[in-house]
A and B are shown apart, each in its own frame.
Chain A
Amino acid sequence: GAVVSQHPSWVICKSGTSVKIECRSLDFQATTMFWYRQFPKQSLMLMATSNEGSKATYEQGVEKDKFLINHASLTLSTLTVTSAHPEDSSFYICSARDRTIFYEQYFGPGTRLTVT
């Protein structure tokens, strides 16, 4: 089956630093990847949609300069949280859509970010 990996699975960083999270589709090509954020005991909120080779589309209320998304290849998208603050602490989940099966979306295992 289709597998999506995320790295790292958890990260602790100091306030003011930047953190990069990678999302990879391991056995399929993904023209579109999605980034979600989940706060404790809440649902997943879509942050942005990234298409390979083009700029990401951000949801309303998500700061594009703070959450930098790069989708440089058909198997890799990165989310960089810049100048992280404690309120950015959350569970970040990516998903990838198989270019050959339009409606199938596969989720990564998530990355837990803690900003101290």
Chain B
Amino acid sequence: SQQGEEDPQALSIQEGENATMNCSYKTSINNLQWYRQNSGRGLVHLILIRSNEREKHSGRLRVTLDTSKKSSSLLITASRAADTASYFCATSSNNNDMRFGAGTRLTVKP
């Protein structure tokens, strides 16, 4: 079963704009990860944030984690057409299997 929900389900923006995607989950977690998936392809790991961390940066990516609200956000700044993909959050709990959110389909228009 999936761990939680992501919103929006789909997001369409212009190149250069920022994109924000949110992820909510249901149970306590050890860490949360964000992945990108191009259509019909495998997963690309973007960033991992541990439960005791609140914010993490990697290049144009910024991830926040609010364990009190059981939510996370992924911000992509200065988006590019190549960022067009589906983005998934995935949580790991004590049993350490990974559960995925529903995903956000991002379209960046040139």
Tell which of B41, B98, B105 touches A95, judged by Cβ atoms closer than 8 Å.
Answer: B98
A residues near B79, Cβ cutoff 8 Å: none
Q: For chains A and B in complex, what number of residue pairs have CB atoms within 8 angstroms? A: 50
Residue of chain B at shortest CB distance from A34:
B97
Q: B97–A46 contact, CB under 8 A?
A: yes
Question: Chain A: residues with CB nearer than 8 A to chain B?
Answer: 32, 34, 36, 41-46, 49, 59-60, 91, 93, 95, 97, 102-103, 105, 107-110, 112
Q: Give B48 Cβ to nearest chain A Cβ, in Å.
A: 8
Question: Chain B: residues with CB nearer than 8 A to chain A?
Answer: 1-2, 30-31, 35, 40-43, 45, 88, 90, 92, 96-103, 105
B residues near A46, Cβ cutoff 8 Å: 1, 97-100
Say whether chain A's binding surface is mostly helix, strand, loop, or mixed.
strand
Q: A109–B41 contact, CB under 8 A?
A: yes
Tell which of B31, B41, B88 touches A44, judged by Cβ atoms closer than 8 Å.
Answer: B88
Q: Give B50 Cβ to nearest chain A Cβ, in Å.
A: 8
Given contacts A43-B2, A43-B103, A103-B30, contact A97 B42 (CB under 8 A): no
Task: Provide the bound-state CA to CA distance between A106 and B1, in Å.
Answer: 20
* 10 residue pairs A–B, Cβ–Cβ below 8 Å: A44-B100, A46-B1, A59-B1, A60-B1, A93-B42, A93-B43, A97-B96, A109-B42, A110-B41, A112-B40
Residue of chain A at shortest CB distance from B42:
A109
B residues near A60, Cβ cutoff 8 Å: 1
Task: Provide the bound-state CA to CA distance between A95 and B40, in Å.
Answer: 17
Tell which of A45, A102, A112 touches B96, judged by Cβ atoms closer than 8 Å.
Answer: A102
A residues near B42, Cβ cutoff 8 Å: 93, 107-110
B residues near A41, Cβ cutoff 8 Å: 105
Task: Provide the bound-state CA to CA distance between A59 and B1, in Å.
Answer: 7
